[in-house]
Amino acid sequence: MKPIHAFVLAIAFTLTASCSKEPSTEATAVRADPSQHAAAAVKPGSHEDWCGEHEVPESMCTRCNPSLIAAFKATNDWCAEHSLPESQCLKCNPDLKIVRPPAGQ
């Protein structure tokens, strides 16, 4: 009779969660130019309601105001790939034109 060997298989799954790539923050400091951004009191949809930095209405600028993101997601107007409202995502919609309302209204 041959001796019976008990094999204990210990399978260790080592999760290599070491791929936290951070976008290289370039030397350019985030310069928030107040002249490019609308004041909080402006009327949404007006000429003054404009984010010159991101070329969208300031009242709809998720990059300046991340708290707006939930509302866009709720209406399915959200591009998860680019973290932008689909209606503002020029990468997905190259023909998209977001036009600033004319002044003097």
Binding residues vs Zn ion (CB under 5 A):
51, 53-54, 61, 63-64, 79, 81-82, 89, 91-92
Q: With respect to Zn ion, which residue has the nearer C-beta, 70 or 92?
A: 92
**Mapped to the 3 state alphabet, what secondary structure does 4-30 carry?**
CCCCCCCCCCCCCCCCCCCCCCCCCCC
Q: Hey, how many other C-beta atoms are within 10 angstroms of the C-beta on 72?
A: 18
Q: With respect to Zn ion, which residue has the nearer C-beta, 1 or 92?
A: 92
Nearest approach, Cβ of residue 54 and Zn ion (Å): 4
| Amino acid at the residue 4 | I
Nearest approach, Cβ of residue 105 and Zn ion (Å): 22
